[in-house]
Structure 1
């Protein structure tokens, strides 16, 4: 993924990431409050090697080097049982040497002869007492036992306390600010990781950017999501100044510049989708109205002979229609219905047949479309989903090409890819993709979500269109 992909992920999941960051900080803060406070007390011991008064400089240097080498071994003696048992006896502590060893640690800074013994305890006074007792008993064990020469000669090693432990006045742990920050950073990391994983595993189409990863065909337009679509599916007619209506006009403009087969007198398109409930029928109906607003002659055909919707959306009688024309029971001019005052004519699906694919792929369908191509500027066919049945692919061979509708947040990339392959398999031409149900906010939002169409006059003077019906086969 590129940098912009990661930015989109952060933009899309920023609320979730922020919530985990705050939750992580709160968890770190709460853990710090519940944890019992502890105190640290440290004593520092200086290790040296005895030398005579007349010692030469070389002997002094050798003694210092010996002391530096010795402290690396002495540091392990600090929390040994031989030292800690004495500390327990001196202070009358109610614990074993192994338990006390968990409270005592020792360290030696590099290239020094200083040993720092640190004690951690919940009682600040006891921490200081244990640290000082550890220093005293450690010096006695090393000098008088471990490094004691034979006979009465004094030990060459000398250990002196140069910094006794003082009673600490502030807690060493928990560090509430640090724990809160670490908790927030951990929550942030988990949130970002989960967001990236969620995006990688999510195969749904969310934006036009996702379309580009599936096909190189152009994105003809984007339609924003509208929760009231079922109440007013024909938004171009019901509310011409609505931003969604303007989206269909933008789609209309892009459709007019599609490079198609110029041998035909009109442009005909099969509009379909990969799966159901992706908005293909409402898109087809609104696009037909938008095209008719320009004065173009438009034929809208309900080619979904399995679950027809156009007659319901357009408010026309759908009992007789396409199927009756294809089986020869009715003439095209008798069943095609003019809609409104514009040059928009609707051909309902008619009765649902038992063999939709055979009817749509028949010679009768081809002859009917040829006659419509002569009478209309645009022919739009609403067809069933490609992955469910072959109807759309069959009828697309008689048109200028197919247009796929993909719903943001619903259509999956493998489904869209399968639909594209289904068209390629029979040699049909995919002209472009329309993305529907785009969110109005966020990184995947469509531009018209914040655009208000503010025309001071109606989009088109519909009274200028003649009222008499258009007869198929005659010029409008």
Structure 2
């Protein structure tokens, strides 16, 4: 994956990433609110060893002994010998083992200072426990553990140099730190889910996905229109609509396809159903006829015909009648629009569509249409469902593949292309439908809007009508 692929993933999944990031921060904040505030109080003790002599060497020996003894003294701080006395002094309702979990004793390396921290939900109690632990620790060490035999005084001395004060703010929870960690965790999860979602998602979303599935060029992109079912023939119904312009761009690209021979006949198919092949074929036929070319639109989908309904013509008699010899081709071709476009509906649904479409009669029909028209467009069933499109493609110049953004899967498109290659059919290119108008997966096309503004009547009595046109480019 390249950098642009990661940027596309971020652009496509930014809502998910933002949502998980916010949830991470909110969850950490909620967790912090549910935690019981804990206060910490600390005291520091100084350990020294007295010497009977005041010589320098004796003082150095005493200091070294104290440093070595402090390492062992740290472990004595949270012992039951010390904490049982603390419990008695403060009348605590807990055992020495429980109290030990709230006590932390430490000493820096080569130091004679012992730091004691006590934590408790009550600030005053935390300070009392820390001071009591320090006092009782000093008493245990001096008067019990390091007391010489007899009545001699202990050479070890433990003094408090920093008593514990009542803390003014809780040491835990660290709300700000928790929120930052929650945000980082949520962001990490969001990025991970976005990358994983992109890897596991095999649907086609962009031109990059098309390039990964086939070497054939992308002939055009058709934007998604929620009202496409209401206005399937957008080129005719709303010529200035951005989708109509995208079909004209497709028409232009199709005119530059290098096809051997004077006639150009194409099968328009898709890998699976519901990818917009029939509406694409019909609109492309209308766009080609607008240039003055003679166009034949053939409904080659004998299983689920749609062309007659989209074009608003009678489809009871058509291609099947010509193939079985019941009608002549010239009698069933129906002119549409200005007369440059002729539609051949499918006719009645036969029991053997594949056999009829692969017959010599179908070949002769397409050859006759190719001689009489500049363009022949055959709307055929999906390639992966039935063999009809593959069979018909042998009698035409090649295939135009329709793939729907967000619907067609890359393995399906690859399988459809391999099916065409296996029978020697030529794939001229891919038409991507249902592309989002905005976002990382959108396809660049011109969006045109026109408005007519009526001006007031001029002094000469002649009304002025001014047309305004604006154009924006969306990519």
TM-score under structure 2 length normalisation: 0.90
Three-state SS of the structure 2 residue aligned to 1:305 is coil
CA, structure 1 residues 41+265, in 2 after alignment: closer, same or farther (shift >3 Å)? same
Tell me which residue corresponds to 2:455: none
Three-state SS of the structure 2 residue aligned to 1:188 is helix
Tell me which residue corresponds to 2:121: 122
Q: Matches of residues 338-417 of structure 1 in structure 2 within 5 Å? A: 338-417=335-414
Q: Matches of residues 200-349 of structure 1 in structure 2 within 5 Å? A: 200-260=199-259, 262=260, 264-349=261-346
- String of CA shifts for 1:205-257, please: whole Å, max 9, x gaps: 12222112211211111111111111110001110111111111111111122
1:64 positional shift = 4.0
- String of CA shifts for 1:245-292, please: whole Å, max 9, x gaps: 1111111111122233x2x21111111011111100000111111111
CA contact (8 A) 1:23 1:187 kept: yes
CA distance in 1, matches of 2:342, 2:273: 25
Q: Which segments of 5 or more consecutive residues in structure 2 lack a partner in the other structure? A: 452-466, 470-475
- Larger relative strand fraction: 2
Tell me which residue corresponds to 2:463: none
CA, structure 1 residues 432+109, in 2 after alignment: closer, same or farther (shift >3 Å)? farther
Residue 446 (structure 2) pairs with residue 441 (structure 1): no
Tell me which residue corresponds to 1:46: 46
- String of CA shifts for 1:399-421, please: whole Å, max 9, x gaps: 12111111111111221121112
Tell me which residue corresponds to 1:183: 182
CA contact (8 A) 2:241 2:447 kept: no
Tell me which residue corresponds to 1:30: 30
Name segments (4+ residues, structure 1) moved above 6 Å: 455-458
1:137 positional shift = 1.4
CA distance in 1, matches of 2:214, 2:69: 73
1:197 positional shift = 2.0
Tell me which residue corresponds to 2:448: 452
CA distance in 2, matches of 1:434, 1:45: 81
CA, structure 1 residues 354+165, in 2 after alignment: closer, same or farther (shift >3 Å)? same
CA distance in 2, matches of 1:432, 1:99: 75
CA distance in 2, matches of 1:397, 1:73: 92
Worse-matched range after superposition: 120-129 or 151-160: 151-160
- String of CA shifts for 1:19-51, please: whole Å, max 9, x gaps: 222222222222222322221101112233334
Worse-matched range after superposition: 107-116 or 156-165: 107-116
CA distance in 1, matches of 2:366, 2:12: 45
1:66 positional shift = 4.1
1:326 positional shift = 1.4
CA contact (8 A) 1:295 1:342 kept: no
CA contact (8 A) 1:246 1:453 kept: no
1:62 positional shift = 5.0
Tell me which residue corresponds to 2:91: 92
CA contact (8 A) 1:272 1:385 kept: yes
CA contact (8 A) 2:297 2:377 kept: yes
CA contact (8 A) 2:400 2:427 kept: yes
CA distance in 2, matches of 1:253, 1:457: 26
- String of CA shifts for 1:64-121, please: whole Å, max 9, x gaps: 4444443333222221111111111111111111111121112223443322111111
CA distance in 2, matches of 1:112, 1:258: 86
CA, structure 1 residues 93+338, in 2 after alignment: closer, same or farther (shift >3 Å)? same
CA, structure 1 residues 316+39, in 2 after alignment: closer, same or farther (shift >3 Å)? same
CA distance in 1, matches of 2:62, 2:342: 109
CA, structure 1 residues 400+102, in 2 after alignment: closer, same or farther (shift >3 Å)? same
CA distance in 1, matches of 2:444, 2:378: 28
CA distance in 2, matches of 1:452, 1:372: 35
CA distance in 1, matches of 2:215, 2:332: 39
1:149 positional shift = 4.1
CA distance in 2, matches of 1:299, 1:70: 103
